[in-house]
Chains A and B, each alone.
Chain A
């Protein structure tokens, strides 16, 4: 018979942390773990294992999912075995490398997978990673069994994502969009590349054992994505994060479309240098609204949805468009709490400590009785989810909100987010391309005040080491680890810093007219 010993607690003395405004007990007993920003999203680390023939969207899903998870604050990283192979085998000659009877190549490929798993283990056990996405074909039971054993040995949860698609048009489109420009086909023309790739896919077909949740794989946690999201089979979702992953995968699509982000027109408060509040548009702001109307017309879009916040200035801007629009409270500007409607000078005078703290850690800093960028991410998550479901959308919002949304689309870290440049009277046009997002910055050439504050010099030195982090820092999806650490090949020295086609060409750090 167990009896819990019950100890009467001391008078519940609490202190509020200075940056995040989180209440914590004074003595901060280490025995009681604390989480500050919401539900525990994941406890054991998780390995997400992609499954599928080449050109089925595994890398697309891996990268997109990783971007989403990092944005919501779950440290996630992709481990693409193909990258390891490219590091190990300097020059790709032909599909012959992938023939199932090519013993030498099979050995190399297996070593690459093992090297990637070693890095997965490092990331999850020593680098504070929560989720590792193991991006490879993983088309045989034998390979998946090996991964399951690895995970079991290390106490990791495993979640499989299989992409099944037999539509030849889809496969051909994928090949054109992301394979022809791969480093493997750097020296080929498109026709030759296409032909070689199709033979490559063929090498996998005979040994492909799809996941079988009805029988062989009935104990595994998995989602099977069929025909680019027409159908899903989900088996044994274990926890909150897997449930969120399933929900996300079921909402994304690959239809070409464009997302436009802009702020409201310049407001009366902008003119006075006041933050927050609910003021109307200035004269120049109204001009912007009309210019926006013209711009939208010129874009000639089918079915544009328009979203605004519930603050007057975004709604006034939308009214000029003469299109139906939806108001989202979740798109309201960051709540500056006691600093609402003040100028930065007034804040510096009346709340000097708060002013300094904000510059120290602008992402986590919560205004007294207000919000932080971290809070914004939580409140904007349903907006992101609905944006994923939609097609052409124009979001008319606010500076901090726009920075958060942009950080999601451009895979910017928490550290960079509060300093992204989102000037007034400028539209950012986002188009999905290959594995990422192309961004175009279009200024509508109406004068406006500059509301951007650069990261102060002192803060550039890095975060205050005395500051405690209660929650996980959202990261930009880390660069993939490339070193294969294979003994039978030379050490590879230089590592290229970006993958082809996956980083947007234009990043709004320096916009014209700023």
Chain B
């Protein structure tokens, strides 16, 4: 289904250390995974490329004319690349990651969007909790190239002063002044949201995604079912049970999970016998999801690869040509899998500790989402 006609320009808004880059990267990863070509443009990166060495927060002082000139230049260079990506390189969504804290800057960007036929959607992150901000600084700022020669204390002190530079001129998205813009305002890391004028399907999906992600530490475990009887015979698909070694694996998995000492672990399986048998060994409640079933190989179900090559030589060759898009006759493609797994990803984002016992192709799709691997 075509989800976007005009390209979309997502504009991040917020003081430093409010999670803008975190959101930009995560959102970009999600959109690419569901098949919407997306790219982020981080203005800070442009600045680092232009100004080889970062000295101190003074670069960001509002009266530092030289600094302001360079920063505006960087923003324009980034916008230029946005235009190239969206209008010439078949990009659908561009995420413009910068503070964009003044109405004036946002108007410039909005006009740029209008001139080029893009829909603009703002994502603002507002947070006043000093603990959250301190944690963000520790997690991602201390390790920044800007602070490569500084001690942690020096870096933190400098960064706090950097944030101060923006505060006086910060104009948050306003209910009245910005009433005609499309935006979401995220408050206190997702405790509450303000959503204004969602224009289309992709903006609606973006809002839904942003409202489901969280930053609570947790672990996701992915594994396949234990070895199955058909695995042993080199056959694909089907609904076989576990082999003897597969049952051994299930018991080892149980032991492994036990040793991990995980708080409130959720366990999910597909509705195929082999994953359920594996979960049974754990002795904990589990949920069966039909959408976690292995890719449907259609007419090739339960065949070996040799048999497929013999009986369907053309199909066999075509699959090697474009394994992501290739759909088995009367079956599915990896592309189809992504579409059916999207609710699993959304629920994984909502959850905390989860073990997903699934299948090879399914696990590849899920892994590609988490590790940002392209189709």
A: residues with CB less than 8 A from B are 4, 6-9, 11-12, 14, 16, 21-23, 25, 32-40, 213, 230-237, 240, 243, 246-247, 250-251, 278, 326-330, 340, 369, 375, 378-379, 386, 389
Which residues of chain A come closer than 8 Å to B291, judged between CB atoms? 38, 378
The reply to whether A231 and B288 form a contact with Cβ atoms under 8 Å apart is: no
Instruction: Give the contact stretch, choosing among B46-54, B63-71, B275-283.
Output: B275-283
Contacts A35-B288, A237-B211, A375-B290; A328 near B1 (Cβ below 8 A): yes
The 5 closest A-B pairs by CB, nearest first: A12-B277, A235-B192, A232-B195, A234-B193, A12-B280
Interface residues of B in 231-262 (CB under 8 A from A): 239, 241-242, 247, 250-251, 254-255, 258
The reply to whether B192 and A213 form a contact with Cβ atoms under 8 Å apart is: yes
The reply to whether B250 and A246 form a contact with Cβ atoms under 8 Å apart is: no
Please give me the residue from chain A that is nearest to B200 by CB atom: A389
The reply to whether A240 and B201 form a contact with Cβ atoms under 8 Å apart is: no
C-alpha spacing A213/B290, complex, angstroms: 38
The reply to whether A231 and B250 form a contact with Cβ atoms under 8 Å apart is: no
Assess whether B154 is interfacial by the CB under 8 Å rule. Answer: no
The reply to whether A234 and B254 form a contact with Cβ atoms under 8 Å apart is: no
Query: In the complex, what's the smallest C-beta–C-beta distance from B213 to chain A, in angstroms?
Result: 11
Please give me the residue from chain A that is nearest to B190 by CB atom: A237
Which residues of chain A come closer than 8 Å to B247, judged between CB atoms? 11-12
The reply to whether B287 and A39 form a contact with Cβ atoms under 8 Å apart is: yes
The reply to whether B198 and A250 form a contact with Cβ atoms under 8 Å apart is: yes
Assess whether B273 is interfacial by the CB under 8 Å rule. Answer: yes
B: residues with CB less than 8 A from A are 1-2, 191-198, 201, 204, 207-208, 211-212, 239, 241-242, 247, 250-251, 254-255, 258, 271-273, 276-278, 280-281, 283-285, 287-291, 301, 330, 336, 339-340, 343, 347, 350
Which residues of chain B come closer than 8 Å to A329, judged between CB atoms? 336, 339
Which residues of chain B come closer than 8 Å to A231, judged between CB atoms? 194-197
Contacts A8-B251, A247-B208; A326 near B285 (Cβ below 8 A): no
C-alpha spacing A81/B234, complex, angstroms: 63
The reply to whether A25 and B288 form a contact with Cβ atoms under 8 Å apart is: no
Query: In the complex, what's the smallest C-beta–C-beta distance from A246 to chain B, in angstroms?
Result: 7
Contacts A11-B247, A32-B285; A234 near B271 (Cβ below 8 A): no
Which residues of chain A come closer than 8 Å to B242, judged between CB atoms? 12
C-alpha spacing A280/B333, complex, angstroms: 23
Which residues of chain B come closer than 8 Å to A25, judged between CB atoms? 280
Contacts A12-B242, A14-B277; A251 near B204 (Cβ below 8 A): yes
Contacts A14-B276, A246-B211; A4 near B258 (Cβ below 8 A): yes
Please give me the residue from chain B that is nearest to A15 by CB atom: B273
The reply to whether B271 and A386 form a contact with Cβ atoms under 8 Å apart is: no
Which residues of chain B come closer than 8 Å to A236, judged between CB atoms? 191-192
The reply to whether A9 and B289 form a contact with Cβ atoms under 8 Å apart is: no
Which residues of chain A come closer than 8 Å to B195, judged between CB atoms? 231-234, 250
Query: In the complex, what's the smallest C-beta–C-beta distance from A278 to chain B, in angstroms?
Result: 8
Contacts A232-B195, A250-B195; A39 near B212 (Cβ below 8 A): no
Which residues of chain A come closer than 8 Å to B255, judged between CB atoms? 6
Partner of A33, one of B276, B285, B289: B285
Query: In the complex, what's the smallest C-beta–C-beta distance from B355 to chain A, in angstroms?
Result: 14
C-alpha spacing A243/B347, complex, angstroms: 10
C-alpha spacing A278/B207, complex, angstroms: 37
Which residues of chain B come closer than 8 Å to A386, judged between CB atoms? 1, 201
Partner of A326, one of B1, B197, B276: B1
Please give me the residue from chain B that is nearest to A326 by CB atom: B1
The reply to whether B288 and A389 form a contact with Cβ atoms under 8 Å apart is: no
C-alpha spacing A11/B277, complex, angstroms: 9
